[in-house]
Amino acid sequence: MEKQTYSNPVIRWVDDRLPIFSFMDHEYNKFPMPRNLNYFWNFGALASITLIVMIVTGIVLAMHYTPHTSMAFDSVERIMRDVNYGWLIRYIHSNGASMFFIVVYIHIFRGLYYGSYKAPRELLWMLGVVILLLMMATAFMGYVLPWGQMSFWGAKVITSLFSAVPIFGESIVEWLWGGFSVDNATLNRFFSLHYLMPFVIVGVVVLHVAALHVSGSNNPDGIDVKGPQDTVPFNPYFTAKDSIGLGVFLIVWAGFVFYAPDFLGHPDNYIPADPLVTPPHIVPEWYFLPFYAILRSITFDFLFIDAKLLGVILMFASIAILFVLPWLDTSKVRSCRFRPVYKWFFWLFVLDCFILGVVGAKSPDDPVFGVEWFKYVHLGQIGTAYYFFHFLILLPILGKMERPLPLPTSISESVTGGRSDSAAGAATAKGEPA
């Protein structure tokens, strides 16, 4: 990192002692970005901004929320009715959770399509999977806090997953609950952890971005940056591009907040929690549906593992498998643009995730499209099998068999078709050697 000489004496004084200005200039102003990035590269920035909005609105909500089983529901209703702008802040926060997952899922599928998980970005990708897991835990515990029927029964079902652990299962669940059922002790610790975990996420995001700034961004062609002719500085090129994406994103978010604030929620969560009555149809929030479908699709024992434990194992494995993805995909080519066969399997995998999501929302015994012998649980079993087939069998084999298309020799060549162009000229004019 080259030291800047600032003309402002105060900035210079600080920068000499703690080079934050040089650091920001290097990492966010001049930082070289591949010049062929498309709008799918907005979503990392959008996720960061969403995280900040969630933390700010969450801290404010915690000023009015009461984490006690007898008062939690009422305190949330008080936020909605009496606290100044409480309705707005809560709807931003509750819809923000969904927005966060939309953005992060697109960000992940972007990485899958363009091979962003491959060398040298494996650790960057794995840190991302850690962030996803932390987000899921945080979202789950946050959903419990309003202490509605879905909050309570969601908490009960998900914590009961751990009872599938052999021998220690019951003890683990009682330890998680702090009692013999989901109760006040559970609510209190979920509140404590829901407040803590976003800051843990911030910590891992810092590592994620630090790792990103070592290797630099991947790009739609999936080829390495060869020199300054392949890059443009982050500012103004991507501050501008990210701002456009942010504008669109905030319109969507505001659309939900102001016009359909409960569209992504569940009406049963406006009924106070009742530990003695389970709602007839309990479903998790939409962002957990594919994983819930995998959990429920296992209705059979396998060797010495009973169905319940196997479902839990596969559900966790469906995310854990992402950690080893960089080594499962044997293809040397990163981007799907140059992988004519994998490209189709990628979209098949996306479709599979959507189907699992639909299955997760349905009752397992309901017939699919009215076909009596074909239930949603069967569709879920096929979807689950394909999910793991994609990672464990298809990706290792396809990388060896597939003949990729010829790669462009450089990013600038692929952008300009070999002509020298004005953008490259602009970069040169800014004093960077071409």
Partner 1 sequence: MADSHADDENRREFLYLAAGAMGAVGAAAFAWPLIDQMNPAADVLALASTEVDISALEPGQAITVKWRGQPIFIRRRTQQEIEEAAAVDLASLRDPEADAERVQKSEWLIVNGTCTHLGCVPGNRVSDRKGEYGGWFCPCHGSHYDTSGRIRKGPAPTNLVVPPYEFLTDTQIKIG
Q: Which residues bind partner 1 (CB under 8 A)?
A: 153, 156-157, 159-161, 163, 174-183, 185, 189, 275-282, 296, 299, 306-308, 311, 363-365
Is position 241 annotated as part of the catalytic site?
A: yes
Residue number, 195 or 338, with CB nearest to partner 1: 195
Under DSSP, is residue 363 helix (H, G, I), strand (E, B) or coil? Answer: coil
- Burial (CB count within 10 angstroms: exposed 0-12, middle 13-18, buried 19+), residue 175: exposed
Check if the beta carbon of residue 67 is closer than 8 Å to that of residue 187.
yes
* Least Cβ distance, residue 140 to partner 1 (angstroms): 14
Catalytic-labelled residue, pool 15, 285, 352, 402: 285
Show the tokens assigned to 55. 């933390």
217 flagged as catalytic:
yes
d(CA 126, CA 417): 35
Three-state SS at 61: helix
Query: Min. distance of Cβ 223 from partner 1 in angstroms?
Result: 48
Q: Which is nearer to partner 1, 203 or 275 (CB)?
A: 275
Is 116 considered catalytic here? no
- Chain centroid offset of residue 357 CA: 15
Residue type at 367? P
Q: 213, 308, 343, 378: which is the annotated catalytic residue?
A: 213
Residue 300 CB burial class (10 angstroms; 0-12, 13-18, ≥19)? exposed
Which residue out of 221, 242, 352, 402 is catalytically annotated? 242
CB of 204 to partner 1, least distance (A): 22
- Residue among 182 and 225 whose Cβ is closer to partner 1: 182
Query: Considering the complex, what minimum distance in angstroms separates the CB of residue 163 from partner 1?
Result: 8
Q: Cα–Cα distance between 370 and 194 in angstroms, integer? A: 42
By beta-carbon proximity to partner 1, the closer residue of 140 and 234 is 140
Q: Active-site residue among 22, 98, 116, 217?
A: 217
Question: From the candidates 208, 241, 375, 390, which is the catalytic residue?
Answer: 241
User: Which secondary-structure segment (H or E) carries 235?
Assistant: helix 234-259
**213 catalytic per annotation:** yes
- Name the residue nearer to partner 1 (CB basis): 19 or 279: 279
Beta bridge partner(s), residue 34 = 231
Q: Is 25 an annotated catalytic residue?
A: no
Residue identified by tokens 């960077």 is: 432
> For residue 248, what are the CA distances in angstroms to 88, 99, 146?
19, 12, 30
| Minimum CB distance to partner 1, residue 168 (Å) | 13
Which residues are catalytically annotated?
213, 217, 241-242, 285
